[in-house]
Amino acid sequence: MVAVKETVEQVKELDVDQYKYGFSTDLEVDKAPKGLSEDIVRFISAKKGEPEWMLEWRLDAYRRWLTMTEPNWARVHYPKIDFNDSYYYAAPKKNAAPKTLDEVDPAILDAYKKLGIPLREQEILAGVQTSKVAVDAVFDSVSVVTTFKEELKKAGVIFCSISEAIKEHPELVRKYLGSVVPVTDNYYATLNCAVFTDGSFVYIPEGVRCPMELSTYFRINEKNTGQFERTLIIAEKGSYVSYLEGCTAPQRDENQLHAAVVELVTMDDAEIKYSTVQNWYPGDADGKGGIYNFVTKRGDCRGANSKISWTQVETGSAITWKYPSCILRGDNSRGEFYSIAVSNGMQQVDSGTKMIHLGKNTTSRIISKGISAGRSQNTYRGQVSAHRKASNARNFTNCDSLLIGEQCGAHTVPYLESKNASAVFEHEATTSKISEEQMFYCRQRGLSAEEATALIVNGFVKDVLQQLPMEFAVEAQKLISISLEGSVG
């Protein structure tokens, strides 16, 4: 149905030419030669000072990648990517490995300041932020700083860049890396295995509730570079962690590739809450430039009663190809996926989730809201499957979409596969109006039509809103109010 005026205006504010994070920072950088080859893989590994087993792992992935073909089932269209036309490693030159924040290039700190990311612990403590958040800042191919490391260490939590983890906690990395997303999982994941440069590593020991929110902020700055980050989060028995991820990039005319892999592992009774505000540069109004965001995110509920929850607010990227998934292996484990995806301009979004029920009494919930405007295409693609032994598996899926304007498209492609008689799956998707009875009830009590719709939809979208951590509330607020207005149409 036709979207209300206010919503149209709010989406307009988010239009591609309004992108606020499009500035770039001039820095002297250390780059790998352009292109992709075994030598580049060796170069990256050497730059990172990695052990031999890691290099072998990368080379194996690279060789396998060469035999693979790009997936073409998603509803996204783009010219063929020349993988030899970009840089796979770019790092700020000055103070290559800063020990403290004071050693970090002030230009980088400025950039983060502009982005509103607090990196100085004292600032955070001085009340700039209402609650404490530990940040790992990844700038192009390297992690520049990780805050609150010491304090986290006291709780036994390991929070560092993945390069550091490979050096300092090789036993953990070896055990878990590639155990959720196998090396040959898909084209982009395999590419990531070969050339990933940095990312975050989190380890929460048994019984620990992580004392603060952890967060990683990804920034692509250099021209012609791709960013390949790798995140690995392990929550041991009975632990809990909430992790936030943010990302932005400068406004550039060429397309840049971002192919990340995120792996989550939860043991018995553990819980991981993973939230993303994805705001990569979406390209201009004619679709020139922008980030190709080809991401593989997967969580493995390995232990009984464990839980993984994905929350995402997607506004950026020229192309989004992303399906945060949960493998519900442990009995009674639970997976959740909450998503708001707003597309504008010429953006193409093909996003959704996968819930793979393997264990008994596993439950999952999917709430997805898609809003498309301009000439964009927004697709929800989600898979729910119950395997033979997944007795009493439960899933509820709800995905709604809204179109603003006549040139965009909203699509829903759910896959429901059940191999167990006691599994119960329900799926519903609508683009329908609020019921007249509800409207009548509210109007009778003196609310205007718009107030009434806002009220009704507010209650309806709450599901997604409530899942967002406080820290993201401000950023997400604007998007959310849109989706409130929007779904009414």
Binding residues (CB under 8 A) for other proteins: these are 1-3, 64, 67-69, 71, 73, 184, 186-187, 388, 401, 403-433, 489
CB of 402 to other proteins, least distance (A): 8
CB of 345 to other proteins, least distance (A): 17
Nearer to other proteins, 64 or 94 (CB): 64
- Identity of the residue numbered 408: C
CB of 308 to other proteins, least distance (A): 23
**What does the alpha-carbon distance between residue 26 and residue 71 come to, in Å, rounded to a whole number?**
35
The answer to whether the beta carbons of residues 318 and 282 sit under 8 Å apart is yes
- Pairing between β-strand 363-372 and β-strand 334-343 as defined by DSSP bridges: parallel
Nearer to other proteins, 186 or 197 (CB): 186
Nearer to other proteins, 118 or 414 (CB): 414
Q: Which of helix, strand or coil describes residue 168?
A: helix
CA distance to 21, 35, 58, 70, 222, per residue, from 219 (Å): 10, 21, 23, 25, 9
Q: Which of helix, strand or coil describes residue 5?
A: helix
**What does the alpha-carbon distance between residue 253 and residue 417 come to, in Å, rounded to a whole number?**
42
CB of 433 to other proteins, least distance (A): 7
**What does the alpha-carbon distance between residue 213 and residue 131 come to, in Å, rounded to a whole number?**
8
Cα angle at 464 between 463 and 465, to 5 degrees? 95
Nearer to other proteins, 145 or 393 (CB): 393
CB atoms within 10 A of CB 37: 12
**What does the alpha-carbon distance between residue 265 and residue 294 come to, in Å, rounded to a whole number?**
21
CB of 67 to other proteins, least distance (A): 5
CB of 35 to other proteins, least distance (A): 22
**What does the alpha-carbon distance between residue 183 and residue 51 come to, in Å, rounded to a whole number?**
18
Angle between helical axes of 38-47 and 187-195 (0-180°, round to 10): 50
CB of 328 to other proteins, least distance (A): 16
Which of 362, 486, 345 shows the shortest CA–CA distance to 407? 345
Nearer to other proteins, 179 or 420 (CB): 420
Nearer to other proteins, 19 or 380 (CB): 380
Nearer to other proteins, 137 or 358 (CB): 358
Nearer to other proteins, 67 or 444 (CB): 67
CB of 165 to other proteins, least distance (A): 30
- Pairing between β-strand 213-219 and β-strand 200-204 as defined by DSSP bridges: unpaired
Burial of 364 (0-12, 13-18, 19+ CB in 10 A): buried
CB of 467 to other proteins, least distance (A): 24
Nearer to other proteins, 231 or 395 (CB): 395
Which of 373, 299, 305, 393 shows the shortest CA–CA distance to 337? 299
- Pairing between β-strand 29-31 and β-strand 90-92 as defined by DSSP bridges: antiparallel
